[in-house]
């Protein structure tokens, strides 16, 4: 990436994120998919070869971390790095914009749970009642 001059920050972001599959795989990891087989199930239409390439590219770009859980048989987990966590809100905004654009232009969008914001468990929800009582 360092061998060229970029036109703007969007140019840098799109180059770092790369093509279609990288952003979808990143969203799947953000929503909790962590193993290779699980990612393969969560990302419809991706081949094993493309998933491997997307994960490798995301690791090289610093968005994803790979952890070996077990050596035999090999089991790995993929998680977002700090950079991956920072890009996640931008991807969510881009998803919302894309869905609106598709709606306005008669395009069809697959409603897949990968791109839906994950639901928070009761313990993770903000304590609204506690905040109201403090006011």
Tens digits of residue pLDDT in 20-34: 899 999 989 988 899
Q: Which residues, other chains included, contact 63 with Cβ-Cβ below 8 Å and sequence gap of 6+?
A: 16, 17, 26, 80, 81, 83, 84, 87
Q: Give a yes or no: residue 117 inside a domain.
A: yes
Q: Give a yes or no: residue 104 inside a domain.
A: yes
Q: Give a yes or no: residue 2 inside a domain.
A: no
- What is the pTM (predicted TM-score) of this model? 0.73
Q: Within 10 A of 130 (CB to CB), how many other CB atoms are there?
A: 8
pLDDT digits (tens, 9 = 90+) for 107-133: 888 765 445 555 444 444 455 545 545
Q: Give a yes or no: residue 84 inside a domain.
A: yes
Q: List the domain range (segments joined by +) for residue 127.
A: 9-134
Q: Give a yes or no: residue 120 inside a domain.
A: yes
Q: Give a yes or no: residue 33 inside a domain.
A: yes
Domain count for the chain, please give it.
1
């Amino acid at each position: 990436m360092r061998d060229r001059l970029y036109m703007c920050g969007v140019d840098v972001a799109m180059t770092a994120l790369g093509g279609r599959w990288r952003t979808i795989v990143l969203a799947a990891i953000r929503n909790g998919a962590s193993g290779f087989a699980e990612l393969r199930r969560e990302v419809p239409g991706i081949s094993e070869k493309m998933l491997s390439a997307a994960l490798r590219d995301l690791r090289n770009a610093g968005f994803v971390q790979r952890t070996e859980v077990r050596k035999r048989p090999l089991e790995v987990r993929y998680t977002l790095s700090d950079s991956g966590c920072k890009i996640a809100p931008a991807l969510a905004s881009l998803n919302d914009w894309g869905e609106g654009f598709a709606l306005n232009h008669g395009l069809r969008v697959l409603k897949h749970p990968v791109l839906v914001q994950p639901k928070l468990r009761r313990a993770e929800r903000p304590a609204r009642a506690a905040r109201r009582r403090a006011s």
